[in-house]
Amino acid sequence: MKKLISILTASAAMLELLLAVVLLTADYFTPNSYTVINGNHLEWLSGAITVVGDSDVSANVSVSYPKTYQGTMMLYNLIPIKSVDVSVVDQTCVVPCGTPFGIKMYTDGVVIVGLADIQTSYGPVNPAADAGMKIGDIITQVDGKEVKTNSEVAQAVENCGGKSLKLSIRRDSENVTVELKPVRSETDGLYKAGLWVRDSTAGIGTLTYYNPSTKSFAGLGHGICDSDTGELMPLLSGDIVPVTINGVTKGLKGKPGELRGYFTDDNAIGNLVANVPTGVYGYLQSVPNTKPVKIAMKQDVKPGKVKILTTIQGQTPKYYDAEIERIDYRDQVQSKNMILHITDASLLTQTGGIVQGMSGSPIIQNGKLVGAVTHVFVNDPTRGYGVFAENMFIESKTVESSVLSKAS
């Protein structure tokens, strides 16, 4: 009898430990907030996990939107896991694009992308490093005068006459003032600071969607980062222009491919207003001629077959087969929300899978926009990451509110 009790006690302890592990895992890998479309219910998220809301609130969701209430995430509708926030919103339809676009972007300030020694008569010196300047710093003013271009910074340094300059820089959202003392280069006799700087960038990406109600667009699925620093480039202004794809460098293991194309003309078809981790956002002047679709909320996205809409030749997008292999629902994951596997034989033959320039290509599942292609796996070009369409849409609403606020 004692042996049986011992066995039962040990079994109960094991079950309790197993349940604790299951609850902790569910807590870690599930979001703390959800969005649900008006008229729908946030019920079975999987075969085991549900979110149960306040019945009084959820029954009275016809008031005004967005409306937020608190729910409880449950295991098998019996065991509480954690409290979650649920936002009820109106259904939004957007136009999936998949069309290539050219980006012309100018930075808000001048970005330091490198430091270099200057050869002087008394040896190599790096004035910028001596002043405490770092790669990734953004120069906004020189001696109290605003600077926006590389040439403005270079001119101020060359004309300093050996005197120290006060530079205002932005570093990790903080404003810092440093004193820079340029030195005379032994090579050409000019005063230099030992800085490599950048004030603009250009490239090719893919439009994800157009919102007819606001005339806004979202693209890329990830932000534009400086190639040297890896940091998001601070946007001052930017345009998007039409692009024609005229070739593909096929992706290989260890060597990502890319779409090759050219700017069809310099006439802007839209303007950029935000460059953030989930993509680039702005407003279009021309309206895409594609049927609108509904945006899927993240809990509606499931592993399985999907279509991606992308352009690998000319300006006309086509649908290709793919599959979502894994999904990460966590709130803190901004852009790498799913692992996408290209299965379309035609696309694999032509591109090898996902290539640079396809970032932003819409992902369609069950007739809804569920996300956009973002990054390729360097060692497996048939696979890459995707971002939730919901994340991009929420960001676009934030951007639109900011634009309206500034305008008023």
Retrieve residue 110's tokens: 């001048």
Does 239 participate in catalysis according to the annotation? no
d(CA 325, CA 339): 6
Among the listed ranges 6-15, 184-193, 340-349, which one has the minimum average pLDDT value? 6-15
pTM equals: 0.81
Task: For the chain, give the percent of residues with pLDDT over 90.
Answer: 41
Residue 160 falls inside a structural domain: yes
- Check which CATH number belongs to the domain holding 146 and give it: 2.30.42.10
Are residue 183 and residue 214 in the same domain, yes or no? no
Return the closest-CA partner of residue 152 out of 134, 169, 139. 139
Are residue 267 and residue 155 in the same domain, yes or no? no
Are residue 79 and residue 180 in the same domain, yes or no? no
Among the listed ranges 25-39, 102-116, 194-208, 375-389, which one has the minimum average pLDDT value? 25-39
Instruction: Tell me which amino acid residue 182 is.
Output: P
In tens, the pLDDT along 355-395 reads 999 999 999 999 999 999 999 999 999 999 999 999 999 89
Are residue 177 and residue 277 in the same domain, yes or no? no
Segment 54-79 shows an average pLDDT of: 58
In tens, the pLDDT along 130-184 reads 999 998 899 999 999 999 899 999 999 999 888 999 999 998 878 999 999 999 9
Does 222 participate in catalysis according to the annotation? yes
Are residue 138 and residue 258 in the same domain, yes or no? no
Are residue 217 and residue 357 in the same domain, yes or no? yes
The strand pairing partners of 248, in sequence order, are: 259
The catalytic position among 199, 222, 226, 335 is 222
Instruction: Tell me which amino acid residue 293 is.
Output: V
Report the chain's terminal Cα–Cα distance, integer Å: 79
Residue after which a domain boundary falls, among 165, 193, 221:
193
Residue 7 falls inside a structural domain: no
Residue 10 falls inside a structural domain: no
Does 321 participate in catalysis according to the annotation? no
Domain span at 52: 26-91
Are residue 302 and residue 236 in the same domain, yes or no? yes
d(CA 239, CA 270): 6
Number of domains in the chain: 3
Kindly report the CA angle at 17 between 11 and 19, in degrees rounded to 5? 100
Residue 5 falls inside a structural domain: no
Residue after which a domain boundary falls, among 145, 161, 193:
193
Residue after which a domain boundary falls, among 38, 57, 91:
91
The dihedrals phi and psi of 269, each to the nearest 5 degrees, come to -105, 0
Among the listed ranges 4-18, 92-106, 108-122, 386-400, which one has the minimum average pLDDT value? 4-18
The catalytic position among 199, 344, 361, 396 is 344
Residue 398 falls inside a structural domain: yes
**What is the pLDDT confidence band of residue 60, given thresholds at 50, 70 and 90?**
very low
Among the listed ranges 62-66, 119-123, 260-264, 288-292, which one has the minimum average pLDDT value? 62-66
Are residue 169 and residue 315 in the same domain, yes or no? no
Segment 42-67 shows an average pLDDT of: 53
Assess contact for 194 and 346: CB atoms under 8 A.
Answer: no
Q: E strand or H helix at 140, and its extent?
A: strand 138-142
